[in-house]
Structure 1
């Protein structure tokens, strides 16, 4: 009898790979389209094959939004999205070494008192939220801070050990923030896990709540396990009371985390339900309140409403929020810069390039390293420099060159 051959497997098409990547990212077609500056119908056309494979710049934008490699979309494993989209900070190797260096023996050095560690961590937070190159300044402190909190957490006992563990969790939060938008997603996950572990070992509901916020915050920006992080934030908020100022601030922050997670995937009703709860907490804390390092307060709640409208593809409503938003109420240069970028994103969605570039320039003056490592900025500036309104092309090109973005 003639030899029987199995039918050849049908290779995956670009359309199927694009649909699979979007599903894995947990994004609806309208949300995915909005994040890359296209319509839901365009995304549908890509996924049904009625629109062919786009050019490399759009492939990179899709891969960034779906948090995958370009190879996952094209089938060509020689191209990786991180090569084109994520710029590495000069101090990234330093932080990598600090996170993978282990002190297995106690050594001769006396453990630092928990109060002294806490003071050093608070100083590092001031540098993170201050003017100038915040990543570079914090990177200079992190290796010693991580090592010293580890040493003290091992050597101290009782309440002092728990306080050292709380300081350690915060040191890992700072490392998480440094690693955000860097080509090191594995380290982001590592620091998130270590911060939560330290908070749990400290048996501190406040520390666990803070860890839940930063895990949600970082992974949401990376489109990673969004709903799982929302559930974590809800669980952590249940650990807190609402009468004490510290507890209320963290409780409100976690309501905001859930709201942002739902907005990211287009669930508008649930998003605004949790935003209302965060807004209520901010109002109870008073108009002048802002947490010293979590920065929760009315300014942040108002500013994140703008981000939520952007994620829900409502740039007009986002700009209505922006008109009334006073970023000077936010005592953090990094957060002010971020929310200026978000305002620029809203203007960009309405094809108002002049306003978008002006706001990006302002964000750069506010916090250079915030905008340098912001993915939205890195995607839109080259396009504005080449195809934007004539009156902004030179400004967009100059800013891209300043930030080291290829144009």
Structure 2
């Protein structure tokens, strides 16, 4: 049970500053608290100094648990108490079945799934279809999540039923599948389950032993490392992926260009989060060149890489560096309706909302946050820092838009 306790006056402090005050009050070193939540001391240092946000609810809950805080509002600054035990259940209703499937497939010989056997080709087609659904539906976690458990079982069944080249085909498809599982579980599952999905995707791709599958695994692992605060490792892995593609860049296919661009953007984001502006914008420029080499209208299936994605990451990098003016410049270059991916479109509008919040313009920030939720409330509302942003906008909003801001905050909190 999470214990309560008296806390100092934290009203004027950010979440990171609150964590530092509470940590020191409890006599905990930075290394101890970081270890309790499975992160590095450097990650916690950046959180406490406001250089990094806690973007996943499970991690926020882990910090609260380690500090003995029963009310999440003590950390987030919400006006109303938020009992952390309310999240002891599932954050999203699709997670339990996915968790069970991930745990059971390692014992497929002992626990037959009863699902029809797929050929490697059929498996790849089904995985690709779900990736298209992920990028095209506003309720991506619900729609995709309901199909994943069966497909996880079928992926492992296909691997076990084949040998040689066919087996490697099935492993490549399973790697693509686990990258989708990784994306879905982000923000809504325990970190351990998310880590299993990342690791299985990497292992499947290594076993498939194709250049594209391995570099896709490098991309998705880099995304995971960056999300966990390991920016140097994330940037290094993305760069390794870029170098791995070098032998096939003389005559690159659209698929190769899509993976290359995704790796370049991930490196840009990692360097940006680490505060290295020069490296971040160098990779961003490289990604822009890669996007111009893509066929007109082409977009990479898994990463969503295309020219619009370059501008989205430009907003994220500039915002992370607190260069809000540059972020607005990137945002103005892009018409949201031209972004093919629903997930990317909502994220673009969300990043603009955050940028305007940083510029102390809550009215415009509310407009963009509502627009992001209108595109996909699931893609927006299940990111913990978005709920914090919504509550902050309620507090900062002019009187004539505060009611609208409150309704928006309540709408986001209702998505589970």
**Structure 1 residue 391: Cα displacement:** 2.6
Larger Rg: 1
**2:68 match:** 76
Per the TM alignment, residue 327 of structure 1 is displaced from its structure 2 partner at its CA by: 2.6
CA drift of 1:67 comes to 9.2
2: CA distance, partners of 1:165 / 1:238: 23
Compute the displacement of 1:372 (Å): 1.4
Partner of 1:280: 289
Conserved 8 A contact 1:166-1:198: yes
8 Å CA contact 1:345, 1:376 repeated in 2: no
In structure 2, the partner of 1:33 is 50
The alignment status of 1:229 with 2:234, answered yes or no, reads: yes
Partner Cα separation in structure 2 for residue 64 and residue 94 of structure 1: 18
Report the counterpart of residue 169 of structure 1 in structure 2. Answer: 175
The aligned runs of 1:1-400 (5 Å cut-off) are 13-14=24-25, 24-26=41-43, 32-33=49-50, 35=52, 69-70=63-64, 72=66, 75-76=67-68, 83=84, 88-102=91-105, 103-105=108-110, 111-223=117-229, 225-240=230-245, 241-242=248-249, 243-245=251-253, 246-400=255-409
CA apart distance, 1:248: 2.2
Q: 1:43 is matched with which residue?
A: none
Residue 130 of structure 2 aligns to a residue in which SS? helix
Deviation at 1:114, TM superposition (A): 1.0
1:160, CA displacement in angstroms?
Answer: 1.3
Q: TM-score, normalised by structure 1?
A: 0.82
Deviations 1:63-115 (A, max 9, x none): 9999960355xx43667779389781111112111111131259587731111
User: Residues 65, 32 of structure 1: CA spacing in aligned structure 2 closer, same or farther, 3 A cutoff?
Assistant: farther
Q: CA offset at residue 280 of structure 1?
A: 1.4
* Per-residue Cα deviation, 1:131-159 (whole angstroms, up to 9, x for no partner): 32110010111011111110111111222
Q: Which runs of 5 or more residues in structure 2 are unaligned?
A: 1-21, 76-82
SS at match of 1:289: coil
Q: CA deviation at 1:383?
A: 2.1
Q: Secondary structure at the match of 2:300?
A: coil
| Residues 1:105 and 1:363: Cα distance change in structure 2 (over 3 Å) | same
Ranges in structure 1 where 5+ consecutive residues have no aligned partner:
1-10, 37-59
Separation of aligned partners in 2, 1:350 and 1:12: 30
What is the rounded CA distance, in whole Å, between the counterparts of 1:176 and 1:61 in structure 2?
Answer: 15
Cα 1:198/1:286, change in 2 over 3 Å: same
Q: Distance in 2 between matches of 1:16 and 1:405?
A: 36
Shift of residue 214 of structure 1?
1.8
Distance 1:34 1:24, change over 3 A: closer
Aligned pair in 2 of structure 1 residues 23, 189: CA closer, same or farther (>3 Å)? closer
How far, CA to CA, are the matches of 2:256 and 2:206 in structure 1? 16
- CA 1:27 to 1:272, structure 2 compared with 1: closer, same or farther past 3 Å? farther
TM-fit CA distance, 1:355: 0.9
Change (3 A) 1:98 1:83: farther
Count of aligned pairs: 370
Normalising by structure 2, report the TM-score: 0.80
Farther-moved stretch of structure 1 (387-396 vs 79-88) = 79-88
Using the alignment, how far apart are the partners of 2:188 and 2:371 within structure 1? 23
The change in CA–CA distance for 1:134 and 1:30 in structure 2 (over 3 A counts) is closer
What secondary structure does 1:238 align onto? helix
Native 8 Å contact 1:61 1:379 kept in 2: no
Note the C-alpha offset of 1:269. Answer: 1.1
CA contact (8 A) 1:149 1:164 kept: yes
Could you say what the CA RMSD is over the residues aligned between the two structures, in angstroms? 3.1
